[in-house]
């Protein structure tokens, strides 16, 4: 027993009434034909304008229905056409004739009466005292609505509610139209495809609308679409409910509305929006209204122009058009609806009908001479579903008659057509699998659903001023997920005369270089676009986060690409490098001038008295010191990194060794003036050269060990600055650099101490005070160099070292040689032996000759 039968039986028992009593008050079939097996049908030939509900306090009375629904009449006639076609086909149900009982309804109670009449199988006029012979139907085709469909078992051509796929609650329901689950999924993909991430949702407040809109919202959120609002109403609700919906739409910022409702609700909504002058909305429609031809009948239907929605694929049923064109009331003499339809279409009165306002009908009226919704065969989408439903039942019955479904009767298990019950038909219906004449495969899945394939239709205005659904794409759930939704080449018409895709977003797209930051308390589609931090980029729109650039890269100004960091080093081209190089070259030039002066005056007493050999060696080492400063300028390489520190260490040791040698000579020269002293033989020219060579070789050894163990090398310092790479020389080991620098410092301190001790010797000859001052400058510069070098970043560390080299070299050059050049060039009268020896001073003859 179906859910409806159980409900009504319990209800009537509680009220003390019989099933026969209720059936006696029900309407008779609108269209009927006897047969061995009966297929039932429920269609809404008329629509009731009184949507008030019944309280079930008494047996409901039959109400008068108004307004023709020609699409439902076409569905019913398609069912009859299919049954007649099957009866003529010897391959399906041979020897068995199908009949039909088709009921009209225009309200909920009419559906219940019709369903009870079909499932109970009662026929004839009945009352409380007796029931007549029953004619049980084997299956029911219809109803077009999802909510009425929930009440009884059937195979539907139009009920799309996803709730009906629940096999536990509706085990006897089948349909030849796809479930709203797939429609909702397709609609969500459609919204995402056009970039609409901020959408409003309006539904009809019944099972169809609430389940459909819930499925759409879930699918939309899975695709990153946010729902600004979700409201529902019904055509039977009080006016204030619709007013509340209008106000929500009016205050909203979304420009796209998903309307999951029937043609009745959408026409009411469109009319009210038109009155409120609320336009520039893009409508997304469910299949219940998107292709409904009655939309043009509503006020403000132009608001719906450009609407998009999915509907079942366009179809063609061979022979149906010719059959419907031949429809005549004489074919259905017991159908009041067909008679009323004929009189209304041709504005005449048939025989037996009293209507003084219309002329009598002649026998010449024909549907082939008129244009109406009934004779419009441009679309047979849902009629094809009715057609497939009838054939599905016929194939199930055929398999049932053949017992095992293989076409070979199995003795003892075959069913008698006169005693076939709905339950076996239901079992065979679940396994039907056939192909229609146009090649479409028909079958049901485990939930009783058909394969999902939709056409995307766009409501466009026709030459007649009516709305027509133009196919602009398809959705096929059987294809891979990325290829299910396909647009064709037909241009889409947008609402309100828009020439391009309307925009409906809570926040504008975040361009490359920015990322999304959600606005507090708002949906995920509402966000602010924030520029990526330095060193991070995004080259995508709508990026939720930025990506860090690789270490050697940095973000550009727009933060949409990583570019190579600029490489920074002390270059000749920059001002600092140029200035330091000029000072180095100037030092070389001055050193060469000094050398030339000394060479030109090599035989003068002053040059001879200042140890000319050590002086020339010192000038040579100073030239090397100035030259080695240039190795710190330019792009570091393996060779330049090794050369700059080792050359610096060796040349400065050579330089200090020469100064130390001169200082020792000064001390020994004055010591040799003491009577009986014989120290000069221990520190002659050979000893001086040996001391300079030995001291220099020590630094050479230190440098060699440094280069062998851990030599300096160029490296890219990416930690010092975020936005650029510092190309510099790594010392390799601090110990090697410290040893080289420490050795230079040790010689400088020793030289300073010795010169300091000799500072009070006779002034005219004594150069110890100049050496003392030069060593003081040298030590001061290098003591200041250490903290400055450590604290200077990148190329500035190289600049500090160059400055120390130049400053100490200039200090030695100026302090030791400038006074002598002054005497040689400016005061030649003082460049005499007498003046140099001074009063009371007698130079040792051997010493004089040696120098």
Assign 3-class secondary structure to 227-284.
Answer: EEEEEEECCCCCHHHHHHHHHHHHHCCCCEEEEECCHHHHHHHHHHHHHCCCCCCEEE
- Ordered strands of the 453-461 beta sheet: 226-233, 198-204, 256-260, 282-285, 308-312, 453-461, 467-476, 485-487
Among 344, 272, 330, smallest CA distance to 304 is for: 272
Q: Which pLDDT score is estimated for 191? A: 93
Backbone dihedral angles phi then psi of residue 555, each to the nearest 5 degrees: -75, 145
Tokens 């109400």, residue? 63
Q: What pTM was computed for the model?
A: 0.58
Among 55, 54, 60, 56, smallest CA distance to 21 is for: 60
Would you tell me how many other CB atoms lie within 10 Å of the CB of residue 658?
Answer: 29
- Buried/exposed 603-620: b ≥16 CB within 10 Å, e otherwise: ebbbbbbbbbebbbbbbb
Supply angle C-alpha 444, 447, 448, rounded to 5. 40
Residue ranges of alpha helices (H) inside 88-153 are 108-120, 146-149
Q: Are 550 and 562 in contact, with CB atoms under 8 Å apart?
A: yes
Helix, strand and coil percent figures for the chain, each rounded to 5: 45, 15, 40
**Using the 8-state DSSP alphabet, how is residue 343 labeled?**
H
Tokens 């068995």, residue? 96
Length of the chain: 851
Backbone dihedral angles phi then psi of residue 674, each to the nearest 5 degrees: -75, 130
d(CA 645, CA 731): 8
Domain 3-177+380-409 top-level CATH class: alpha beta
Q: How far is CA 27 from CA 63, 107, 147, 228, in A?
A: 10, 13, 21, 46
d(CA 237, CA 63): 20
Q: Are 194 and 456 in contact, with CB atoms under 8 Å apart?
A: no
Q: Tell me whether residue 285 is exposed, middle or buried, using C-beta atoms within 10 angstroms of its C-beta: 0 to 12, 13 to 18, 19 or more.
A: buried
d(CA 831, CA 842): 17
In three-state secondary structure terms, 713 is strand
d(CA 262, CA 740): 93
Q: Where along the chain do the CATH 3.40.50.2300 domains lie?
A: 3-177+380-409, 180-315+450-497
In three-state secondary structure terms, 161 is coil
Strands 348-349 and 527-531: unpaired
Q: Which pLDDT score is estimated for 360? A: 86
Would you tell me how many other CB atoms lie within 10 Å of the CB of residue 625?
Answer: 26
CB proximity list for 19: less than 8 A, separation 6 or greater? 8, 9, 12, 116, 120, 122, 131
d(CA 263, CA 158): 13
Q: Which pLDDT score is estimated for 668? A: 73
CB proximity list for 305: less than 8 A, separation 6 or greater? 459, 460, 461, 467, 493, 495, 496
Q: How far is CA 616 from CA 113, 607, 662, in A?
A: 129, 10, 11
Q: Tell me whether residue 359 is exposed, middle or buried, using C-beta atoms within 10 angstroms of its C-beta: 0 to 12, 13 to 18, 19 or more.
A: exposed
* 842-850, Cβ contacts within 8 angstroms, sequence gap of 24 or more: 842/673, 843/669, 843/673, 843/765, 844/669, 844/672, 844/673, 844/680, 846/672, 846/680, 847/669, 847/672, 847/680, 848/608, 848/609, 850/680, 850/684, 850/685
- List pLDDT tens digits, range 508-551: 888 999 999 998 888 888 999 999 999 999 999 888 899 999 98
Q: Are 409 and 341 in contact, with CB atoms under 8 Å apart?
A: no
Would you tell me how many other CB atoms lie within 10 Å of the CB of residue 708?
Answer: 9
For 575-850, CATH gives 1.20.1070.10
Q: Tokens representing 744?
A: 């230079």
The H-or-E segment that residue 530 falls in is: strand 527-531
Q: Which pLDDT score is estimated for 579? A: 94
d(CA 169, CA 429): 18
Q: Tokens representing 434?
A: 């056939």
Tokens 């030259």, residue? 627
**Low-confidence residues in the chain, pLDDT < 50:** 1-26, 49-63, 108-109, 124-134, 405-412, 839-851
**Using the 8-state DSSP alphabet, how is residue 26 labeled?**
S
Q: Tell me whether residue 412 is exposed, middle or buried, using C-beta atoms within 10 angstroms of its C-beta: 0 to 12, 13 to 18, 19 or more.
A: exposed
Q: Are 351 and 357 in contact, with CB atoms under 8 Å apart?
A: no
d(CA 229, CA 180): 20
Q: Tokens representing 311?
A: 């509907």
Q: Are 456 and 472 in contact, with CB atoms under 8 Å apart?
A: yes
d(CA 383, CA 293): 14
For 180-315+450-497, CATH gives 3.40.50.2300
Q: What is the 3-state secondary structure (H, E, C) of 679-712?
A: HHHHCCHHHHHHHHHHHHHHHHHHHHHHHHHCCC
């Amino acid at each position: 027993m179906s859910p409806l039968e159980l409900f009504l039986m319990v209800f009537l028992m509680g009220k003390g009434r019989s099933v026969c009593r209720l059936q006696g008050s029900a309407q008779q079939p609108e269209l009927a034909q006897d047969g061995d097996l009966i297929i039932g049908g429920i269609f809404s030939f008329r629509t009731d304008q009184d949507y008030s509900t019944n309280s079930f306090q008494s047996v409901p009375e039959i109400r008068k229905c108004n307004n023709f629904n020609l699409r439902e009449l076409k569905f019913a006639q398609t069912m009859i056409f299919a049954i007649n076609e099957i009866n003529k086909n010897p391959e399906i149900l041979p020897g068995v004739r199908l009949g039909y009982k088709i009921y009209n309804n225009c309200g909920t109670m009419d559906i219940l009466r019709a369903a009870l009449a079909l499932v109970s199988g009662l026929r004839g006029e009945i009352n409380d005292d007796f029931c007549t012979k029953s004619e049980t139907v084997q299956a029911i085709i219809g109803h077009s609505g999802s909510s009425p469909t929930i009440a009884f078992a059937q195979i539907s051509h139009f009920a799309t509610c996803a709730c009906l796929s629940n096999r536990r609650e509706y085990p006897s329901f089948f349909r030849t139209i796809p479930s709203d689950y797939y429609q909702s999924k397709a609609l969500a993909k459609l919204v995402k495809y056009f970039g609409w991430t901020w959408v409003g949702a309006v539904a009809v407040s019944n099972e169809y609308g609430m389940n459909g809109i819930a499925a759409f919202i879930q699918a939309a959120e899975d695709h990153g679409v946010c729902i600004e609002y979700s409201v529902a109403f019904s055509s039977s609700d009080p006016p204030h409910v619709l007013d509340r919906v209008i106000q929500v739409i009016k205050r909203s910022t979304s420009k796209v509305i998903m309307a999951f409702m029937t043609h009745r609700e959408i026409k009411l909504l469109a009319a009210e929006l038109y009155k409120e002058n609320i336009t520039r909305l893009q409508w997304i429609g469910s299949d219940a209204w998107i292709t409904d031809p009655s939309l043009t009948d509503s006020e403000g239907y132009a608001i719906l122009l450009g609407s998009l929605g999915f509907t079942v694929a366009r179809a063609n049923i061979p022979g149906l058009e010719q059959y419907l064109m031949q429809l005549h009331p004489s074919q259905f003499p017991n159908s009041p609806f067909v008679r009323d339809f004929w009189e209304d279409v041709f504005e005449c009165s048939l025989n037996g009908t009293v209507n003084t306002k219309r002329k009598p009908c002649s026998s010449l009226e024909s549907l082939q001479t008129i244009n109406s919704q009934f004779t419009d065969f441009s679309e047979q989408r849902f009629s094809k579903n009715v057609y497939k439903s009838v054939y599905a039942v016929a194939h199930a019955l055929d398999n049932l008659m053949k017992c095992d479904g293989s076409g070979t009767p199995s003795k003892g298990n075959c069913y008698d057509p006169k005693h076939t019950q709905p339950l076996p038909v239901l079992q065979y219906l679940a396994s039907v699998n056939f192909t229609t004449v146009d090649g479409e495969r028909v079958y049901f899945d485990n939930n009783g659903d058909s394969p999902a394939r939709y056409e995307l239709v766009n409501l466009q205005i026709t030459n007649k001023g009516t709305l027509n659904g133009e196919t602009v794409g398809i959705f096929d759930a059987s294809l891979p997920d990325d290829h299910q939704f396909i647009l064709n080449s037909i241009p889409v018409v947008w609402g309100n005369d828009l020439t391009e895709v309307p925009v409906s977003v809570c926040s504008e797209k975040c361009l490359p270089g920015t990322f999304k930051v959600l606005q507090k308390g708002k949906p995920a589609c509402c966000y602010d676009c924030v520029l990526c931090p330095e060193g991070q980029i995004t080259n995508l729109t709508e990026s939720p986060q930025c990506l860090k650039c690789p270490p050697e890269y940095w973000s550009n100004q727009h933060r949409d690409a990583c570019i190579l960091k600029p490489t920074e080093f002390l270059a000749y081209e920059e001002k600092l490098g140029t200035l330091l190089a000029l000072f180095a070259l100037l030092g070389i030039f001055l050193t060469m001038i000094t050398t030339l002066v000394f060479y030109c005056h090599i035989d003068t007493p002053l040059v001879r008295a200042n140890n000319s050999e050590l002086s020339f060696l010192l000038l040579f080492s100073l030239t090397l010191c100035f030259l080695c400063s240039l190795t710190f300028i330019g792009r570091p390489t393996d060779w330049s990194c090794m050369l700059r520190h080792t050359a610096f260490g060796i040349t400065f040791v050579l330089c200090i060794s020469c100064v130390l040698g001169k200082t020792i000579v000064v001390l020994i020269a004055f010591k040799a003036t003491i009577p009986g002293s014989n120290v000069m033989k221990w520190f002659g020219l050979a000893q001086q050269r040996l001391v300079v060579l030995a001291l220099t070789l020590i630094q050479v050894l230190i440098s060699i060990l440094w280069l062998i163990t851990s030599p300096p090398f160029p490296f890219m310092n990416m930690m010092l600055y975020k936005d650029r790479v510092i190309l510099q020389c790594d010392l390799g080991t601090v110990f090697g650099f410290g040893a080289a620098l420490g050795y230079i410092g040790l010689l400088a301190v020793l030289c300073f101490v010795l010169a300091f001790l000799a500072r009070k010797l006779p002034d005219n000859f004594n150069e110890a005070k100049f050496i003392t001052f030069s060593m003081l400058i040298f030590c001061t510069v290098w003591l200041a160099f250490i903290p400055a070098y450590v604290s200077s970043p990148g190329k500035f560390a190289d600049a500090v070292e160059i400055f120390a080299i130049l400053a100490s070299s200039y200090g030695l050059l100026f302090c030791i040689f400038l006074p002598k050049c002054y005497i040689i060039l400016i005061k030649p009268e003082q460049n005499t032996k007498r003046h140099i020896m001074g009063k009371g001073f007698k130079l040792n003859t051997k010493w004089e000759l040696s120098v």
